[in-house]
Structure 1
Amino acid sequence: MTIRWHDLSPIQFAGLAGGYGGDRAVAALTRAQLSKHLLLIKFIADTWSGDRAHRDAALAVLVRAQRADQDRFAEVLTEPLVGAWTAVTTRRLRGVTRSGVPLDVDCNHLSAVAAAVAARAGLDADLTVHVSGGGVTLPGLGRALTGIPDHTPVTVRVRDGRATVGGQTGWQPLRQLTAVAAGRELRVGLDDLDPYRGGHHAPPTDRLDPGEVQRWQDGFAAGWQLIADHDPVRAGELSAGLRTLVPLARLDAHSARSATIRDAFGAFGLTRPGNPADFAVMLIHEFQHSKLSGVLDIQPLTDPADTGLHFAPWRIDPRPVGGLIQGVYAFLGIAQFWLRLLDVPELTETAEEEFALSREQVRWGLRSLEASAALLPAGQRFTAGMRSAFEALAGRGLPTAVVRRAEEALHGAHTVWQQRHAGALRG
């Protein structure tokens, strides 16, 4: 299987540092994920000490598929939750993490990936896979239900683009959320099936009922309308790179949660937002994390050996520099979006408050980041790009009372943080 060397052009790097980047830069980040996933698959295949016949059959299918249809091959291999699987399994093979799942089952998810590739590429294949969560999940396609105990090996047969699993009693397709606005379409998977969709600070939901799926669809379409109408560059980025939403369980009646897993570029988990603006902001917020994670796969920005902790105005705990730069970048994107909503009559009041607060959060976060000695030269350039973008935001006038409330909120948060974590703040 072919692996390429990847880099960002100076223009792409500068654009991403300024909070945007555009669809071409996001496409470059996505292409890099293919090589990353292939490298990790090679490590898994080389290190796996289980059934080599399963491994060799899966690798042979992947090689055939890459030769037969590179686009379909790349489509499956860049699935975000394929990335999550490669990362989880690599850490297990290196002894970094443990799991109650047999290691051979995690490793042999390679066969499920190969079956999905064969189905997409129209190749015939017979592969041995393992049951997990009551069925066999084929990334990007769905789950074959079985009455067979978890971790049992079964055969998946692929013919004419269709996969059938031994002992199959039903099929749950991967649902899709679709939205079209301002001539732009966004289509993402709503994944409540994949065994590697977890790892957030709230558990993923089980299979959603049709009524709840419709509520997700309605909120998604309304949020996309706001983005496509008022932030077309951001819309282009999302269309180019966002692939999967993982619904998370709501742990209490008032909590709304979202989180991006570092190894799943183009996916994030979230509880269903309550209104279109919240849905739009959540899409932008979390995709900012994906973009920066994609940059970090190509170009390190901070010294991983640095142990310094910093004040991050959106958290109550001290943050390492890696978490700080992620937060600044995410809130920069949020502030840029709220700026674009200031002139939407029904949102102006909310937009003023949210823009003022997120802009102030970026101001404080940049101050901590720029004082850190952990920034590598590329990190210094990236931070400088964020600073330039912030200065453009800083020039936008707002009502005095709105600005004062944001400043007071941040000063108050900083005071509380200092009291709780005396001596931890740097910069």
Structure 2
Amino acid sequence: MTSTAVIELEQSLFDGLAAGGGGAAAIDALRAAQVNKHLQLIGFLLERWPGPASERDAVVEALDRARRSDPARFAEVIGKPLVGGWAAIAVRAALQGRPQWTDAAQLAALAMVAGAATGVDGEATIPVRDGHASVPGLGVALIDAYRAVLRVRDGRLKVHSDGVEVSARAEHEDARWLPVRRLTAADFALELDDVDPYRHGHHVPPALRLPSAEVATWQTLFAEAWDLLGRHLPEREVELRAGLRTLVPLVEDGLSARSATIRHAFGVFGLTRPPSAAEFAVTLVHEFQHSKLSAMLDLMPMSDASDKTRYFAPWRVDPRPLAGLLQGVYAFVGVADTWRALREVDALTDEAQRQFATARMQVHTGLTSIEQSPGLTPAGRALVGQLRLRTDSLLAEPVPPAIAHAAEEANARIRRQWTERNGADLN
């Protein structure tokens, strides 16, 4: 169960992505590459199946039948973001010589979900973790057992165990079924996944099941944030619509909002509930920038992994490797661009001016260090060249002199503090 397709970005798509944008066509190309990657990882795992060969062969047959039945819907299921999260975790365990049956059996569950999407009947044994039987992308059934059977009949999924039957229906919640919730705005929807067993890896624990009232608050903020993007950054809204699929709520510390993107999972990120619609909009753009660059890195290296130089990043207190600094600069180009556009909102103008001035100065500082690095590959240099053009256009935007001066002073102060903390400049 592998893919031999070679995915390459057309030059025009690369240039758009390299400048910090891209458009729907570029995002579609990145998503196609992720499907290809997921299939390759699945093939790797099937070769190292930790259970009976007959069980593995049944999974291979179910996946192949689903793909032949409806290739487009099959790709949509296999390309889901948290499939990438699961695959990375499962492959890491296999490489360490510790393949887990629960990881392998998650693939059996995924095959049944693909079957339901493509009209293929079947059944498979799936794991039950702490009373939760995962149906990938749809939710979890609450089962008092160690294993269960996930069955597909006429496009409907049901979990069976010891005479208990639980219907796995999206957006239908009962005493035994916890579906993945959705955040909606206009004709767009995102999954708000607080149940998937492979949703961790963000350096902050994922939140447990959110109360309905909390989900309602997320919904209100998301709808307002999406409206801001649609009215003031339509090109960003198009990108997000094309590629962002899932949000994972993270545990809150009561001090500050946090967000993070998993390197191997395109189109998903974790976050605590943003304090405002504007911050939500900025966070959506910020973290999707990380997803875009990570997906590009799956296709081409941007930096030399042997380069050990460490750099100053205005948004971090620790010295950063070149790859980390490049990620930060790429993400903050999106942050600066978002605050630039939000200056048009009367209630946000003053705050947006300050945030825009700060973010563009941070991008300029980080990008200048990258431009001086010998560790960039040819693709990395092409990316940086496009980022410089975009950054210069941001620097050319008029900002009140006092705000621009304050951003420059803040940047210099942070650099002094960083030097005091880390010693002499490393770059």
Give TM class, smaller chain.
Answer: over 0.9
Stretches of structure 1 lacking an aligned partner (at least 5 in a row): none
Partner of 1:175: 181
Correspondences of 1:237-276 after superposition (within 5 Å): 237-251=239-253, 253-276=254-277
TM-score (norm: length of structure 1):
0.94
Partner of 1:165: 159
How many residue pairs were aligned?
Answer: 414
Partner of 1:208: 210
Stretches of structure 2 lacking an aligned partner (at least 5 in a row): 167-175
Contact 2:50 2:104 in 1 (8 A): no
**Deviation, structure 1 residue 338:** 1.2
Partner of 1:282: 283
Other structure's SS at 1:136 match: strand
In terms of mean alpha carbon deviation, does 153-162 or 400-409 score higher?
A: 153-162
Partner of 2:84: 83
TM-score (norm: length of structure 2):
0.94
**Deviation, structure 1 residue 424:** 5.5
**Deviation, structure 1 residue 15:** 0.5
Quick one: which amino acid aligns to residue 204 of structure 2?
A: A
**Deviation, structure 1 residue 407:** 0.8
CA-to-aligned-CA distance 1:86-108 (integer Å, 9 cap, x gap):
11111111118x7xxx7121122
CA distance in 2, matches of 1:424, 1:118: 56
Contact 1:318 1:424 in 2 (8 A): no
Other structure's SS at 2:240 match: helix
CA distance in 2, matches of 1:57, 1:173: 27
CA distance in 2, matches of 1:79, 1:241: 10
Q: 1:138 aligns with which of 135, 138, 142?
A: 135
CA-to-aligned-CA distance 1:313-355 (integer Å, 9 cap, x gap):
1000111111100000000011111111222211110110000
1:216 and 1:424, CA in 2 relative to 1: closer, same or farther beyond 3 A?
same
Partner of 1:411: 412
Other structure's SS at 1:147 match: coil
Is residue 144 of structure 2 the alignment partner of residue 147 of structure 1? Answer: yes
CA distance in 2, matches of 1:393, 1:207: 41
Identity of aligned pairs, percent? 47
Quick one: which amino acid aligns to residue 172 of structure 1?
A: L
Contact 1:55 1:108 in 2 (8 A): no
Contact 2:225 2:281 in 1 (8 A): yes
Partner of 2:125: 128
Contact 1:156 1:165 in 2 (8 A): yes
Q: 1:195 aligns with which of 190, 194, 197?
A: 197
Other structure's SS at 1:108 match: helix
**Deviation, structure 1 residue 186:** 2.5
Is residue 105 of structure 2 the alignment partner of residue 108 of structure 1? Answer: yes
Contact 2:50 2:100 in 1 (8 A): no
CA distance in 2, matches of 1:139, 1:377: 39
CA distance in 1, matches of 2:251, 2:53: 38
Other structure's SS at 2:47 match: helix
CA distance in 1, matches of 2:147, 2:178: 20
Please report the RMSD computed on the Cα atoms of aligned residues, expressed in angstroms: 1.3
CA distance in 2, matches of 1:288, 1:306: 24
Contact 1:186 1:238 in 2 (8 A): no
Other structure's SS at 2:298 match: helix
Structure 1 segments (4+ residues) deviating >6 Å: none
CA distance in 2, matches of 1:286, 1:280: 10
**Deviation, structure 1 residue 300:** 1.1
In terms of mean alpha carbon deviation, does 112-121 or 281-290 score higher?
A: 112-121
CA distance in 2, matches of 1:71, 1:145: 31
CA distance in 1, matches of 2:374, 2:320: 15
